[in-house]
Chain A
Amino acid sequence: MPPLDEPALDLSPKVSDEVRKTTCYMCACRCGIDVHLREGADGSVKVRYIEGNRDHPTNRGVLCAKGSAGIMQHYSPARLRKPLLRTGPRGSGEFREIEWEEALEKAVEWLKPIRESDPKRLAFFTGRDQSQSLTSWWAQQYGTPNYAAHGGFCSVNMAAAGIYTMGGAFWEFGSPDWERARYFMIFGVAEDHDSNPIKLGISRLKARGAKVVGVNPVRTGYNAVADEWVGITPGTDGLFILALVHELLRTGHVDIDYLTRYTNAPWLVNRSPGERFGLFARDEKGRPLVWDTATGQPARWDAPGVVPALKGDFAGPDGGRVTPVLELMARKYLEPEYAPETVAEACGIDAATIRRIAAELVEAAFEQEVVIERPWTDWKGERHERMIGRPVAFHAMRGISAHSNGFQTCRALHILQILLGSVETPGGMRFKPPYPKPVEIHPTPHSRTQPGGPLNGPHLGFPRGPEDLCYEEDDCSPGGCCARIDKAFTWENPLSAHGLMHMVISNAAAGDPYEIDTLFLYMANMAWNSSMNTRGVMDMLTAKGEDGEYRIPHIIYSDAYSSEMVAYADLVLPDTTYLERHDCISLLDRPISEPDAAADAIRWPVVKPETQGEGRDVRGFQTVLIDIGARLGLPGFVDDEGKAKYADYADYIVNHERRPGVGPLFGWRGEGETTGRGRPNRDQLARYVANGGFHTAHVPEEAAHFKPWNAAYQDWAVEMGFFDKPSPYAFQLYLEPLRKFQLAAEGHGPRQPPDHLRERMQLTFDPLPVWYPPFADADEAEYPLHAITQRPAAMYHAWGSQNAWLRQIHGENPLYVPAQVCNDAGLEDGDWAWVISPHGRIKVPVRRMQAVNPKTLWTWNAIGKRGGAWALGEGAPETTRGFLLNHLIHELLPPKGDGLRWANSDPITGQAAWYDLRVRIEKAEPGEVSEPHMEDQESPVGQGPDKLAYGEEW
C-alpha cells in the first residue's frame, strides 16, 4: 500500500499480447529483436514496442537508437502502398497506382524480349540487399552479366583486401577477440559497421582495462570514447600503418614462428628478370616452394618437417635466383621512406607518437601473450599442446577503404596484424564461419551471355590474373568491349569483386561500353545519396536521345518507401517493411555468425502488411522477383512443366538447394535435427520462429582458433557444408595476382593493358602493400582541405529522415569546420560557406569544431533530402538546410587533357573514392537554404501527419 497521500499505481500493467522474435533491418547489422504486439484501439494488431533479443548472438539483448525507433519506420507515412506506373516525366514523381498483375506483366513485357535477344541489356543492381544469394542467382539464370550489390561504393577494398590477404575480412566475417584483446585499434570506423557489436565490445575491453585507440580524422562516437585518438589526415592511413611496420621490423618484433608456419613469408620469389620475375617459384605441379635449410634444397611450402629459410638468395628450380618473401618485405619497409620521421607530416601524427604506438603494440602482443591450455592439431598432423595468442586486435571500415589507395591500405593493415601474429590466434582477430576461405575456393568472375539462356557462372569473383578479366569475346585488347556495363573486372579495376554500382547509370547514359534497355534496382537510392555527382545522375536518368526517348528506356525500382529514386522509376514495386516479410540471413551470403559459432537467421511477417495501414497492397521484393523469374521461365524458377517452382520467398528459403543438401538456411534440415547438410525440411521456418528467429552451431573448442590451419576446424567446416573438402592455406603477405597484373603492365604475357594504364598499374599493383597519394591530391595546391562524411549512430541510413523520432535527433547536418580554418576564413558558428571542389560548389551552414584533424571538414551523411521525398512536409530542415557532399564528388577524375575518362576509384578494385575529396572553403552570404537546391518531386504518398501520439490507446 502506498502512503495515504500517494496515488495508487498499477505496477504490473499489461505489456503485450504476444512477443514475436525476428531480425532487425533498421541498418545492416541484423540484430535479434523481440517485437511486442498489442491490440490497438481499432482492434488491429499493433507494435507496442521493440527491444533486443537477449539470446541473440549479434546484440545479446541490447538495441541501438535506430532499432528502438523501428515503430516509426514501420508506420512511416512514406511507405509505398501499391505498385506505381509513371504518368509524368521522369523525376517528377507523378504516378498512378496499378494492380500487381498489371505491374508484373509490365515487368515481363520489358524483360522477356531483351532476354531472348541480348540479356546484357538488363542491368540489375541491388543496394543494401541482404538476399544477394537469391538476387545474384536470379540474375545468373536471367543471363545478364550486369549484376552486383552496393559493395563497390561501400567497402569492397576492405572485403577484397581481407580475402586476398588472409581469406576473410572484418565485420561479418571477422571480429576482434573481445574477451582477450589487450590493445584494440580502430581505423576509419564511424558509428556504424557494425553498430551494437562494437559498442558491446568496446565496453568489455574498457571494463578490463584494455587500451582502445581510435584512428580517425574526426573524434566522435567510438573515437570519442577511445583512450587515445589519432586524428589522422584522410588518405594517409596506409603510410601510418607502414611506418608501424617499419618500426616492428627495425626493432625485430615480429612473430617469426607464426610467419614461418602460416604465411607466405618463406615462399620463394623469382628474382631473375623476365616474364616470371616476381612470381613464386613453384614445383612441377604448380605448388609454391620454400628453401629447406635442413636439406639445402627447395621444398613444397606445406611439406612436413621442412625448416624454411626466411632470407637469402638461392638458385631456383628453373635456374634463376630466388629470395624468400620476408627478406623482400624487410628490404622494402626498412627504407627511410617509411620511417616515422618521414611520414609524420603527411599523416598529421608526430613521429614520437608513431614510435610509441609501435612500442605499445609490441608490448601488448609479445609481453602479454595469451595462452590457452588446449591442444589442437594442424593440417599437417602436427599436434600443438596449447594455443598461443597475441592480444592485439584491429577493426577498420570505409574510412580507410573509400580511397583510391584503399585496397593497398587495407592490405597494409592486414600485413601489420599478421606480422604481429594476431590473426586467428587468441586475443587477436578471429574469423566467423563460413570464413576463413582462401581465394582459391572462391569463384572467378563470369560474364559470358547467350540469347535466351543463363550466364556461364556466378557474376562476381576473385580474379587470379589477367586471364580472368571480363571482356566480350575474351578480347581485352584496347579495341575489346568490356563485358559488364560497370566495367568491372577490366584493366581499369581488375579485382572489382563487388562490381561498380556507382558507374552503372553514368555508363548506361553514355552508352559506354554499350547501351542497355532496362535498369532494375532494389533498395538503392541512386538518384540521391547513393551516387557521386547527384545532380549529374539525376540528369542522366532523364537524358533523352535524338529520338526523344530516354537514354535508359526502362527503369524498374523496388523500395518500401517514397525515396528520391522512386521519382525516377517508370515502374515501382512496393516492398514491405522489415516486420512484414520473410528473409534469410544466410551462410550463402552474409550471415550472423560469431567466432565461436556459425549462425544464420530469418525475418518473418510478425504482422501482416494488409493489417498495417489502409489500402496497403505491398509484397516482399524477393517474392516478387521469384514471381517474375517464373513468368520469364528462368531455369530453376520453373519446374519441368514450366510452372512456378516456388510459391514465394518463404517456399524458396525452405526448398531451394544450391548444392545437394545445402540451402539458404543451415538449421533444422532433414528430419529437423540436422545442421549443415541435409535435405529440405518443410517445418524449417517454424523451427526458426520457435527458436527466436535464428540458429547457431558452435565451433568445437579444439577448432576455435587457428582455423585456416586447424584440422578440427577444417573437418567441421566441411561437415557444415561451407566447403566440400578441407582447404588449409597460407596468408598472402606477398600477393601474386597483383604481380601478374604488374607483369602485364611491364609488357609480359598475351593479355596487355592499354598503354595509358601501364605506368599507374606498375605503381599501384605492387605485390607488397604500398602507399601512394590519393589521386585527388593532384589538386592539393588549389584545394588544400579534405572533406568527408560519416554516419551518425542514431541514423545510419537514408531511411532515417522519414523517422519521426530520429529526425528530431539529426534533422540537419552542419558542416563541421576545424577552428583554425574558421579563423582563417572568418567563419563563425551559424555562418554559411561555399565549399568548392574541382567538380562543383555547395553552400552550407557551418559549425566550428576542435576535435577534428586540422585539414578536414566533415558532415553527417545522407541527412539532406529532396523536397517531396520521404513524405516530408514543406520546409523540413532536411530539404532546406540539409545538404549532400555528393554534389562535390564526381565519378570521374578531372580531365587530364588526354581525352580519357579516369574513374574516381581505386585502380585495383574500382571502389568509389568518396573520401579522396579535396576542397577549399569561402565565407558565403547568409542564407536559409543550402545550395544546390533541387526542385521538389511530387509525393505519391502525400505528407506525414502533423501530430503523433503513438501508444495513446494503451
Chain B
Amino acid sequence: MTSLPKTTEKKLGLVIDLDICVGCHACAVACKEWNTGAYGAPLSDQDAYGAEPEGTWLNRIHSYEVTPREGAAQIVHFPKSCLHCEDAPCVTVCPTGASYKRQADGIVLVNEDACMGCGLCAWACPYGAREMDAAAGVMKKCTLCVDRIYNENLAEEDRVPACVRTCPANARHFGDFADPDSEVSRMSAARGGMALMPEQETKPVNRYLPPRPKDGAGAPVRLAELAEPEAKGFLGWLDKALARLG
C-alpha cells in the first residue's frame, strides 16, 4: 500500500470544455506524440499495421449520442485522461510505491523503475484512465506533461501539457485548482464545472464544463416585425426604403 500526501501545495489539473470539444482527437494524438519520446517508456503500438492495431494512449476521446426526451439527438465528445484525484485509489492500491501523488502539485505519477506491472492500479481506477504498456510492461498514465510544465528548455508559454498546447478549439485549459483565482478555478465556477463520478469519492481535480443548451430559439427575436410589410408588398416597401436612404 502506498500513502497519499495529506495535502498538496498545488492542485494542477485540466478544465475540459464539452461545449466546444469537436471530438477531433488532436489532444489525444499530440499527447501520444509528446509522451512517446518523453517521461518513461515509449507509448508502444502492437500490430501497428495489422488486423488488430492497439497501442498505449494516455488520453482517449469517447463520443456519445444523447437523445433528449424532447428535440433532436446530439453528439457529445468526451476526452478522458487521468483526473489526478485527491483521494486517488490507484495510488493507495499500489503494492510497490510506484504509483504516487506529488506533494508539490498533486500530479499522480508512476515511477516506472518501481512498477512491476501488476495492474492493480488500473483495476482500482474507476475512470479507466491507466493503460499498461504491452511492450514495456509498465503502467502508463497522464503525467500532465510534468516534463513540459516546468521545462526550462521550452519557452514559458509552451510550459503547458501538450494537449492544451495543441487544442484547436481551445477546449482544454491547464492550471491550479488550489488557487481560487486561477483561470481554471474561475472558469469552472462560472460554467458549473463538473467532477466526474463524484460518488466514487476520489475527489478528481480535473473539471468538465457541460455543453450549453442547444437547439433553442436563441435570443428572443421580434418575430412580429417579420409580418407582411404594411403596403403593396416588397416593391411597395422598396420605395419607402429608398426614400429613407435619401
Contacts and interface: CB of A to CB of B under 8 A. Distances in A.
Query: Does A pair with B?
Result: yes
Interface of A: 2-3, 5-7, 9-15, 38, 48-52, 54, 59, 61-69, 71, 77, 191, 195-196, 199-200, 202-204, 206-207, 211, 219-222, 224-229, 231, 247, 249-253, 256-257, 260, 310-311, 326-327, 330, 334, 355-356, 358-360, 362-363, 793-794, 802, 804-809, 811, 849-851, 871-877, 880, 943-952, 954
B198 to A, nearest CB: 25
A11 B170 contact: no
Contacts of B45: 804-805, 808, 947-949
B72 interface: yes
A10 B152 CA distance: 11
12 contacts: A14-B153, A52-B165, A64-B166, A67-B26, A202-B22, A204-B170, A326-B238, A356-B217, A804-B53, A808-B54, A944-B50, A946-B48
A378 B218 CA distance: 37
Interface in B70-122: 72-77, 97, 100, 102-104, 109, 111, 113-114
Given A64-B168, A200-B169, A360 B100 contact: no
Contact of A219 (B32, B73, B102, B146): B73
A600 to B, nearest CB: 22
B35 to A, nearest CB: 8
B24 to A, nearest CB: 4
B104 to A, nearest CB: 7
Contacts of B210: none
A231 B228 contact: no
B182 interface: no
Given A202-B20, A872-B49, A873-B50, 4 more contacts: A49-B37, A203-B171, A225-B20, A949-B44
Interface in B51-70: 51, 53-55, 57, 63, 65, 67
Contacts of A7: 111, 113-114
A163 B77 CA distance: 37
Nearest to A818: B73
Contacts of B200: none
Contacts of B223: 355-356, 359
A363 B222 contact: yes
Contact of B23 (A358, A793, A802): A793
A228 B212 CA distance: 11
Contact of B227 (A220, A251, A871): A251
A199 B169 contact: yes
Contacts of A849: 65, 73
B53 to A, nearest CB: 5
A714 B44 CA distance: 55
Contact of B22 (A225, A334, A811): A225
Contacts of B238: 252, 256, 310-311, 326, 330
A431 B192 CA distance: 39
Which of B38, B47, B147 has the largest number of chain A CB atoms within 10 A?
Answer: B47
Contacts of B54: 808
Interface string B199-218: 00000000000011011111
A876 B44 contact: no
A69 B74 contact: no
A69 B104 contact: no
Contact of B50 (A10, A62, A875): A875
B157 interface: yes
A876 B218 contact: no
Interface in B135-176: 135-136, 146-147, 150-154, 157, 162, 165-171
Contacts of A2: 102-104
B38 A951 contact: yes
A944 to B, nearest CB: 3
B184 interface: no
Contacts of B152: 12
A485 to B, nearest CB: 37
Contact of A356 (B221, B237, B241): B221
Nearest to B241: A256
Contacts of B25: 65, 793-794, 809
Nearest to A9: B146
Given A48-B37, A211-B218, A11 B151 contact: yes
B124 interface: no
Given A7-B113, A200-B169, A950 B37 contact: yes
B37 A363 contact: no
Contacts of B44: 947-949
Given A219-B73, A946-B50, A195 B168 contact: yes
Given A221-B23, A849-B65, A363 B219 contact: yes
Contact of B42 (A64, A802, A880, A951): A951
A267 B48 CA distance: 63
A851 B75 contact: yes
